[in-house]
Chain A
Amino acid sequence: MIHTSEILETLRMIDHQKLDVRTITMGISLLSCVTDDEHVLAVRVYDMIARRAERLVEVGRAIESEFGIPIVNKRISVTPAALITGAIRNPVIVARALDRAADTTGVDFIGGYSALVQKDMTQADERLIRSIPEALATTRFLCSSINVGSTRSGINMNAVRLMGEVILQTAERTAEQSGLGCAKLVVFCNAVEDNPFMAGAFHGPGEGDCAVSVGVSGPGVVKAALEHVKDKPFDEVAETVKRTAFHITRVGQLVALEASRRLDAPFGIVDLSLAPTPAVGDSVAAILEEMGLETCGTHGTTAALALLNDAVKKGGVMASSHVGGLSGAFIPLSEDIGMIRAAEKGTLCLDKLEAMTCVCSVGLDMIAIPGDTPAETIAAIIADEAAIGMVNNKTTAVRVIPAPGTKVGDSVEFGGLLGRAPVIPVHKESAEAFIRRGGRIPAPLHSLKN
């Protein structure tokens, strides 16, 4: 029998510490839709998604109601669109079909307007990448991601250069919404095929026809647990995070299995992530500050984050039968009230955020930079981040928003889960000649593992 104290603890986590399941994401393969007739392709893509995900939102809501755990988003990820648009001229047609399917099924986002170009680009890849600004400006739910590097292949610097331009164009095309399009565009190194989190979710070519994955959350629960080990050594801090992550992940596993059963789709993975939201009490920065830092971003932040990230994985991995996705602590600046405050104070800067990405789940995430930032500077930021991922054998990503017409000190409001981003400075010195070189940065020595 369950103890009353355990029931009350769970209720406290949900009511006061913002425990939730961040997303149920259904991955759908579109490989069988391929044709050289763009209108037929659009119809097949729409039909495939509308059929497979028909009950996704309904099932998500039912689980939410019956188990009493908020499920914040229901999402769809699909096969990278560049893989199914090789025989047509205008991939934006597929972007619109994906968006319509998202609207019909009632999901919050659909991801997979993507290309995997870590070594080189096909013509289809390049057409898709160049179409991103239009695709994101003319759709509502669509998310896009491009993989420009990997530990095995090195970094495709031609793609990096192109993405600098594409990000700026996307910001300009969505200028009236402060460059919102860029919040739905991620540039990866070592992208994973089963990530349920947006904007970087896609259903990789190594996946099956369909899979249901879940991303958990719970920074508030970890923060509350650490309040009980004030001034104790780090051994106890790590143990506390592990125990808490275990509890959180068990909920994710339960929801994932239940969703998989009710949707009659295979269970994919649970992503053990600590994903903050802009709500007070749902902050990763607050966890780091609870460990003893006056403000997130000061000296000690990287060490604190490294401990947190590792302990989350150690605690969560035993609680789920399949762990995958990005799994770790996220540091999206605009989505974390503690990070927003730290950036506004000037304690948290781009260089420190880059250092933090060496030890946490992903990368430079939801960061607004001045609207007049040159494309080459954005490309150089991507190159730095991709280098960290490539050398350290981990996923890294860049999701920056060069908010049109803004300067350092301004603030950009995106609303909802995307939050509010203070515009932070980038280095003024040019990287133009560096980016102009193009070509490929070779894979590191440790890629030669065979």
Chain B
Amino acid sequence: MNEQKKAVISILGADRKGIIAQVTRILYDYDVNILDISQTIVSGLFSMILIADISSEHCPFEALKNSLAEEGQRLNVQIRVQRSEIFEAMHQI
């Protein structure tokens, strides 16, 4: 469990107050370190991409994923957590 595991957390939906605050609070609870954040508006849609280190033993993948998905429902945005390898495999040689 020493290798760094990275996840891409993508948040898509209508903009509103508190999205970053709520999401980062959950990440803090799961001992997740945020490596990069970018936020854009694409076709009127709020999109935020976080790249995070999820190597901590206090961060079981499924639990983090479910907590964020539940928070997403409350905030009316879609929050997804995916291991970063899929994006690296597809776009980096």
Contact = CB atoms under 8 A, between A and B. Distances in A.
A2 B51 contact: yes
B91 A67 contact: no
A260 B32 CA distance: 28
Given A8-B42, A250-B89, A2 B65 contact: no
A69 B86 contact: yes
- Residue from B61, B81, B87 having most chain A Cβ neighbours under 10 A: B87
A4 interface: yes
A293 B5 CA distance: 46
Nearest to B6: A2
Interface in B41-90: 42, 47, 49, 51, 61-62, 65, 80-90
Contacts of B82: 66-68
A11 B48 CA distance: 13
B92 interface: yes
Contacts of A1: 36, 51
A7 B10 contact: yes
A370 to B, nearest CB: 45
B89 A4 contact: no
Contacts of A67: 82-83, 85-86
A10 B36 contact: no
Interface string A1-21: 111101111110000000000
Given A66-B61, A67-B82, A10 B87 contact: yes
Contacts of B49: 4, 7-8
Nearest to A63: B83
B89 A68 contact: no
A332 B60 CA distance: 41
Nearest to B86: A67
A11 B47 CA distance: 12
A11 B8 CA distance: 11
B40 interface: yes
B2 interface: no
A121 interface: no
Contacts of B51: 1-2
A10 B90 contact: yes
A254 interface: yes
A interface SS class: helix
Contact of B86 (A3, A4, A251): A251
A253 interface: yes
Contacts of B36: 1
Nearest to B85: A254
B83 A2 contact: no
A69 B89 CA distance: 13
A65 interface: yes
B4 interface: no
B88 A11 contact: no
A3 B83 contact: no
A247 B81 CA distance: 20
B91 A254 contact: no
Given A1-B36, A4-B38, A65-B65, A10 B91 contact: yes
A270 B19 CA distance: 40
Contacts of A65: 61-62, 65
B8 A7 contact: yes
A240 to B, nearest CB: 16
Contacts of A66: 61, 82-83
Given A1-B36, A4-B38, A254 B87 contact: no
B43 to A, nearest CB: 11
Interface in A249-308: 250-251, 253-254, 258
Nearest to B84: A2
Contacts of A254: 85-86, 89
- Residue from A1, A2, A251 having most chain B Cβ neighbours under 10 A: A2
B86 A68 contact: yes
A16 to B, nearest CB: 12
Contact of B40 (A4, A68, A247): A4
A254 B93 CA distance: 12
Interface in A389-432: none
9 contacts: A2-B8, A2-B88, A2-B92, A6-B90, A65-B61, A65-B62, A68-B82, A250-B90, A254-B85
Interface of A: 1-4, 6-11, 65-69, 247, 250-251, 253-254, 258
A-B residue pairs, 10 tightest by C-beta:
A68-B82, A254-B89, A6-B91, A67-B86, A250-B89, A2-B87, A66-B83, A4-B38, A4-B49, A247-B90
Given A4-B38, A7-B8, A250-B90, 16 more contacts: A2-B91, A4-B47, A7-B10, A8-B10, A8-B49, A66-B82, A67-B86, A68-B81, A68-B82, A69-B86, A251-B89, A251-B90, A253-B89, A254-B85, A254-B86, A254-B89
